[in-house]
């Protein structure tokens, strides 16, 4: 009987060993599967997050592109007005120079004062650059392809040149003021500037040719600076139109 029990126990040993082996293998398999699922979940999370960020950036780029297009449209209107103003002013200054190059006795005093008023009238270009400044400070320029970013940066660089030229015109006009103050009555130019009837004395006190030459040179300087400003306006307008076309093509916007 003892022999039979021993025989049964011996038969049970392989079965128990197999069970233990299977338990060990199942535990390792579960552990491996757990880590595989864990890393898969992390990878999927990164993928979903990247897709979400890409979607958000794309939508943000569309909104910013629309906003910048509106800014550029305002700039184009302002530039066209500035170009028209400078051309009209340049013609008036040219006529003024022709008059003061002629003998003084042929001068029309009222026309002289009106021309002086025109010389001192300014209409500087005021850019609408809020969207670009926002993108530059917030780092959202990276939402756009490099070609568009290059065009935006080029437009901004041109803006600096355009604004600088406007400042040189104003500086030339201010340098003319002390000379003109010795020659004419600023009360009259003030009345003309605001389309009021002339009530003050219209005198012209040019004592000699040297004074006239200095005055002419100051007026010519203003005109020359205006010409450079006009060149920058036209270049700025070309840059604006090129950038508008790129944005409209890229984002199918009108």
Gap between the Cα atoms of 123 and 170, Å rounded: 10
Assess whether pLDDT exceeds 50 at residue 237.
yes
- Arithmetic mean of pLDDT over the chain: 84
- pLDDT tens digits, residue range 40-65? 556 555 544 554 555 556 777 888 98
Q: Any idea which of 15-24, 135-144, 159-168, 218-227 has the lowest mean pLDDT?
A: 15-24
Q: What is the pLDDT of residue 2?
A: 46
- pLDDT for residue 7: 47
The pLDDT, as a whole number, for residue 3 is 47
Q: What is the band of 156 on the pLDDT scale with cuts at 50, 70, 90? A: very high
Distance spanning both ends of the chain, measured CA to CA:
101
Q: Residue 13's pLDDT is what?
A: 46
Distance CA 181, CA 196 (A): 20
Whether the per-residue pLDDT at 35 is higher than 90: the answer is no
Confidence of residue 251 (pLDDT cuts 50, 70, 90): confident
Q: Which long-range contacts (CB under 8 A, 24 or more apart) does 139-142 make?
A: 140/60, 140/61, 140/64
* Residue found under tokens 């990247």: 50
Evaluate whether 90 touches 251 at the Cβ level (below 8 Å).
Answer: no
Q: Give the global pTM.
A: 0.77
67-79 per-position pLDDT tens digit: 999 999 999 999 9
Instruction: Taking residues 101-121, report their average pLDDT.
Output: 94
Task: Provide the pLDDT confidence category of residue 250 given band limits of 50, 70 and 90.
Answer: confident
Q: Tell me, what's the pLDDT at 59?
A: 79
**What's the pLDDT tens digit per position in 183-224?**
999 999 999 999 999 999 999 999 899 999 999 999 999 999
Residues 240, 132: Cα–Cα separation, whole Å: 13
Name the band, by pLDDT with cuts 50, 70 and 90, for residue 88: very high
When pLDDT is averaged across residues 225-239 and rounded to a whole number, the result is 96
User: What are the distances in angstroms from CA 65 to CA 53, 69, 173, 182?
Assistant: 18, 6, 38, 53
Which has more confidence, 29 or 222? 222
Q: How far apart are CA 145 and CA 167, in angstroms?
A: 34
Q: What does the pLDDT read at residue 60? A: 79
Lookup: tokens for 91:
């013609």
């Amino acid at each position: 009987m003892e022999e039979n029990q021993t025989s049964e126990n011996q038969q049970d040993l392989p079965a128990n060993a197999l069970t233990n082996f299977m338990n060990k293998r199942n535990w390792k398999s579960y552990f491996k599967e757990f880590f595989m699922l864990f890393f898969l979940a992390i990878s999927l999370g990164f993928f979903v997050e990247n897709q979400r960020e890409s979607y958000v950036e794309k939508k943000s780029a569309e909104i910013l592109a629309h906003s910048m297009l509106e800014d550029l449209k305002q700039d184009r209107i302002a530039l066209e007005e500035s170009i028209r103003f400078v051309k009209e002013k340049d013609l008036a200054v040219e006529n003024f120079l022709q008059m003061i190059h002629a003998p003084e006795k042929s001068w029309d005093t009222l026309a002289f004062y009106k021309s002086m008023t025109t010389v001192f009238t300014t209409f500087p270009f005021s850019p609408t650059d809020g969207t670009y400044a926002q993108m530059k400070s917030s780092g959202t320029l990276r939402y756009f392809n490099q070609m568009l970013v290059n065009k935006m940066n080029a437009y901004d660089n041109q803006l600096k040149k355009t604004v600088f030229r406007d400042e040189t015109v104003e500086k030339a006009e201010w340098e003319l003021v002390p000379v003109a103050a010795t020659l004419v009555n600023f009360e009259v130019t003030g009345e003309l500037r605001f389309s009021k009837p002339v009530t003050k004395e219209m005198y012209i006190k040019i004592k000699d040719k040297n004074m006239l030459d200095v005055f002419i040179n100051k007026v010519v300087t203003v005109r020359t600076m205006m010409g450079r400003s006009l060149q920058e306006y036209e270049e700025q307008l070309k840059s604006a139109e090129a950038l508008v076309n790129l944005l409209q093509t890229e984002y199918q916007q009108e």
